[in-house]
Amino acid sequence: MSESKDNNLRDFIPEPALRRLPWYLAYVSMLRDKHVEHVSSTHISRELNVDASQIAKDLSFLNIKGKTRIGYNVVHLEKELRNFLGFSRTHNAVIFGAGSLGAALMQDSGLSRYGLRVVAGFDINPEIIGAQIGGVPVYSVDELDSRCRRLKADIGIITVPVDHAQDAADMLISAGVKALWNFTPVRIRVADGIVIANTSIYAHLAVMYNRLDNM
């Protein structure tokens, strides 16, 4: 993922640190459920196997201070993490490609707990256009432009076959989408200023198979 150019320094957090924050959030949420009041970075460190000074550094990007010997207030830390990660705000997204993976994501209500609201799906298959999947309406790709603007969709999720991935990306961007979440293994090209996140779950499978075969 490329970094944007005009980050204000206070807000800028390197991607590896950003990727660790959800680990801390998962752990801190567990502590909150157990009514634990405070947690130190040493404690998080032991549990997650991340260096304590690294944790303190990662958390320094948040608007929170730990107290010497006591650590961080758990409820406050969880809230700050959720806010910082954007999980407590709603981001409208559309799904381009309502085939098996697209339909699966439309039915994953878990996404909404992480701030992602899937407001529409788009497809070219007349058999599913007009249907609802997991409560999300599926429209024809012809309506992409007008629907995206009306629905104020910022994020476009790409779950089409590989040979349509670049076209889907181009159409989503021209419909006003600012970020693409690409689930295909295709390397999509976008202009500067468009955020792109690649989640190739099949590449993870390949890595797992290879390690399994070489054990």
Site string for a copy of itself, 55-84 (x = CB under 8 A): ------------------------------
User: Which among 165, 95, 160 has a CA at the least distance from the CA of 132?
Assistant: 95
Report how far residue 155's alpha carbon sits from residue 67's, in angstroms, rounded to the nearest whole number: 38
Q: Which is nearer to a copy of itself, 127 or 213 (CB)?
A: 213
Question: 142, 157 in Cβ contact below 8 A?
Answer: no
Per-residue binder mask for a copy of itself (CB under 8 A), 157-196, x = binder = -----xx--------------xx-x--xxxx-x---x-x-
212 lies in the binding site for a copy of itself (CB under 8 A): yes
Among 39, 77, 105, 138, binds a copy of itself (CB under 8 A): 105
Query: Given candidates 125, 132, 174, 200, which one binds a copy of itself under the rule CB under 8 A?
Result: 200
Q: Are 99 and 168 within 8 A, CB to CB?
A: no
- Residue from the set 36, 70, 124, 203 that interacts with a copy of itself by CB under 8 A: 203
71 or 115: whose CB is closer to a copy of itself?
Answer: 115
Helices marked H in the chain: 15-33, 41-48, 52-59, 74-85, 100-106, 110-113, 144-151, 165-174, 201-213
With CB under 8 A as the contact rule, which of the stretches 72-80, 94-102, 141-149, 168-176 interacts with a copy of itself? 94-102
CB crowding 131-150: b at 16 or more within 10 Å, else e: eebeebbbbebeebeebbee
Asked if 146 interacts with a copy of itself (CB under 8 A), we say no
Least distance between a copy of itself and beta carbon 215 (Å): 5
What is the Cα–Cα distance from 64 to 72, expressed in whole angstroms?
8
> Which among 79, 99, 80 is positioned nearest to 158, based on CA atoms?
99
Tell the smallest beta-carbon distance from residue 160 to a copy of itself (Å).
Answer: 11
CA–chain centroid gap for 87, Å, is: 9
Choices 15-23, 35-43, 66-74, 138-146 (CB under 8 A): range interacting with a copy of itself:
15-23
- Residue 136 in tokens: 């999300």
Q: Does 124 bind a copy of itself (CB under 8 A)?
A: no
